[in-house]
Structure 1
Amino acid sequence: MPIMKKSPLSLRAHQGASLLFLAISGTAAQAASLPEWTLGGFGTAGLVHSSERQADYSANVINRGGAGRTDRWSGSVDSRLGAQLGVEFTPRWSAVLQVIAEHNLQNSWLPVVEWANLKYQATPELSLRLGRIALPIYLAGDYRKPGYALEWVRPPVEVYGSLPVSNSDGVDASYRWQAGATNNLTQVFYGHTSIETDDGGKRARGRQLAGLSNTTTYGALTIRASALTAELTVDLVRPLFDAFRQYGLRGGQIADRYDADHKRVAIANLGVSYDTGDWFLQAEGSRLNTRSFLGDKSSMYLGGGYRLGAWTPYATYAKVKANVPNRDAGIDSAQPGAAYLNGQLNALLQRISSQHTISTGVRWDFLPDRAVKLQYDRLRPTGASSGTLVNVQPGFRTAHPIHVVSIALDFVF
């Protein structure tokens, strides 16, 4: 369910995005005859420049990025186009289909199904859904793709990049309830998810994906607490750990520790937003433990802004910290082939993010359903980590500032 802000200014700023989600929130006015159809869309046309020449800036690991080493200015980091079709069959039964085209790991813009589910409104308080459903893990978990619904160019990558998967195939149940002056929405969900990680058909799979989320609103205050667990398997680097297992006990221990093969992963997140309409503050903290080469990370951000008519200047500070080392001694390097395997392992561990970013920007709502944003990020990977960067080259130097400039046009229709 989208989190709908209640302040008048905020409602006006997000009017287009709100209309887009009527099919899901179930708030559309009932028509005299059913079924009732709704059709809408959204998009972002963005350009990103990075000062780093030995790696690419990316919003998450399932987007190849391209700003930095590949291109000085890249349109693939934030640009996307989406369309959403909703249908209300009866007052109790409805369905939604959302399709999005954005840059992916296969270096393609082929559209994919983001949402496709059937909803049953059992009671005014209880609803059930079956199909492909948004994961309600972050504050913006339900609307992280339509950039128009966000004050900034993109959600802070330190937090949102930790879990780039945004949906699952399965079931969920949502229950609305009140406690005094607070309104609550509690969701439980179960399913699975899968993404293709390369052109060779290798995949990352999350099975037995189960979670709980609760969103509380009280006036201008919104709090969302959520947790998720899943059994993760990643085929991409399986040959590396199969090779480690050929090196006796030590090699087997390394493979068992780092191979993402039926590993139980878990993430917990807490987000808080206070939006008066004139100004807003937002903060989130998250912990992700994959028990594999993907790491154990803690992340957070704090941001805010002030609305001056059509203009919204804002700033954020974000940080992610690796709770495990970014290097491992590996197997005895005197053994044939050991140095190569150790190097490949440490290249993987280097990608466990440790980084902090200071961002500032401005949003201009020049039309009711159009917004332009300009944002500057100063990020710095720390320790032996390459941070959230991708396509990292051997000449990359960690622990130095990287400057990123982003321009985005967001729209809904």
Structure 2
Amino acid sequence: MSTVRPVCIAAIAAMSLCATSAAALAAGRPVQADAPRWSASGFGTLGAAWHDEDDTQFRRSVDQHRGTRANELDFGVDSSLGLQVHGALTPQWSVMAQAVMNQGRHGEWGPHLVWGFVKHVPSDWLELRAGRLVTDIYLDGDSRHVGYAYTPVRPYADVYGRLTYDNFDGLDATLQHALGDGLLRFKLFGGRTRGSVFLNGMEHPVPIGRSFGVTLDWIGPELSLKLSWGNMVSTRNAIYRELPFTLRHLASLAPGTEFAGQAVARASEIAGSNRIGYLGAALGWERGPFSLQLMATDMSMSVYPRFEGWGAGATAAYRVGRWKPYLTGSRSILDPVDRALDVPPALDPAGQLRGFWQTVHGYTRHDQTTIGVGVRYDFADNMALKLQFDRIDAKRSSALLDDRGFVTGPRSPTVFSATLDFVF
């Protein structure tokens, strides 16, 4: 069975529940007690962003095709609208579908299915789901799209904005048990990866990818803890298809030299697949008006020449009535493993291989820090206004883009953001 079919089944079933129940009500017929029960809800963000750094585009995540340009008020980076339909078929079976409309990878505004699954709860301690799902790595909720769930304007762009392969079509299973005064949950998941990133004027989708991982969290009345581990394996980027053959050919033209040894070694290191590994830990604490969140990640990418890095974020807030001022900060680094290749000028007179080698090492290189201050105002039930000022210090960045759409060198933009977040 195709991995897309569970998604379609869940979405169609959920929409059918709405139509069936709505038709019954319109005809004046009462819905039977044992009939499926349905509900609809939604969420959205109307956001505006502005910054002052020339030749720079600010993005909240690397799957966005474009970002906020210097001295332009942009409504596309943070704005979104989502609709969710849930149907309870029986006490054990239910379906859910969620579609989100936001700025897509090509700059278009069109809805895409984020969730679409069938859920079975055979007992109090076990939950099974099949369909389109999201990797469980967020402390404030199960999606990066619901802005209302987060205290700041957006989840840490330096960290979560770089982890965009978070959708998959597959299965997950959750075991849960009361522990102390909280709930302990253990989740296993796996399926076909969905997602894409946009770098250097090109979109990089996952042609064939598989995601799998585990999550362990404990949710208490004041303290929440989460550990997440995941892996995504995909086919190799076509950009490297001819590189091993080129390196071996050049090595044959300079036998016995240091370069020949380097070229053969580099050719053998280029694998046929790319593995992205993620290990994360997060802590959330809230007591009275005080709240604190800490998170840290370790990340690696086996795409040549292999990149290794880490990220961390923190938010502290204090609520005064409907107002909630906060401080937030994050840092992320991703560096390549050095792969020496000293090409003799005689074998590369135009410098093309040397230039390509530098591009490979710097393609997704990243070192960025963000410090922010903001205030959240919950002026009505399920509605909040947020104002936030961020200072970004990027030594090199693959989250920011220059005006051509390429990764940047040093940049220091000040970003002003305002959002209206709501759920209904």
TM-score by length of 1: 0.82
Q: What code does the residue aligned with 2:92 have?
A: R
| Number of aligned residue pairs | 377
- For 1:96, the equivalent position in structure 2 comes to 96
- For 1:411, the equivalent position in structure 2 comes to 422
Once the two structures are superposed, the pairs formed by residues 185-334 of structure 1 within 5 Å of their partners are 185-195=185-195, 203-205=205-207, 207-233=209-235, 235=237, 238-239=238-239, 242-243=242-243, 245-248=245-248, 249=251, 254=266, 257=269, 261-293=272-304, 295-324=307-336, 331-332=343-344
Q: Determine helix, strand or coil for the equivalent of 1:389.
A: strand
- For 1:15, the equivalent position in structure 2 comes to none
Q: What do the CA deviations read for 1:2-21 (whole angstroms, capped 9, x no partner)?
A: xxxxxxxxxxxxxxxxxxxx
Q: Shift in Å at residue 230 of structure 1? A: 2.3
Q: Shift in Å at residue 216 of structure 1? A: 0.4
How far, CA to CA, are the matches of 1:328 and 1:103 in structure 2?
40
Asked if 1:355 is matched to 2:368, the reply is: yes
Distance 1:332 1:232, change over 3 A: farther
How far, CA to CA, are the matches of 1:265 and 1:346 in structure 2?
21
Where does the alignment leave 5 or more consecutive residues of structure 1 unmatched? 1-30
Asked if 1:148 is matched to 2:148, the reply is: yes
TM-score by length of 2: 0.80
| Structure number with larger C-alpha Rg | 2
Distance 1:149 1:255, change over 3 A: farther
> How big is the alpha-carbon RMSD for the aligned residues of Structure 1 and Structure 2?
2.9
8 Å contact from structure 2 (residues 101, 112) kept in 1: yes
- For 2:29, the equivalent position in structure 1 comes to none
Q: Shift in Å at residue 393 of structure 1? A: 5.3
Identity of aligned residues (%): 27
8 Å contact from structure 2 (residues 132, 168) kept in 1: yes
8 Å contact from structure 1 (residues 288, 297) kept in 2: yes
Distance 1:112 1:175, change over 3 A: same
Q: What code does the residue aligned with 1:313 have?
A: P
Q: Shift in Å at residue 338 of structure 1? A: 5.9
Where does the alignment leave 5 or more consecutive residues of structure 2 unmatched? 1-31, 252-261
Asked if 1:64 is matched to 2:65, the reply is: yes
Q: Determine helix, strand or coil for the equivalent of 2:154.
A: coil
Distance 1:395 1:271, change over 3 A: closer
How far, CA to CA, are the matches of 2:334 and 2:128 in structure 1?
37
How far, CA to CA, are the matches of 2:339 and 2:76 in structure 1?
31
Q: What do the CA deviations read for 1:281-307 (whole angstroms, capped 9, x no partner)?
A: 001000111112572220001111011
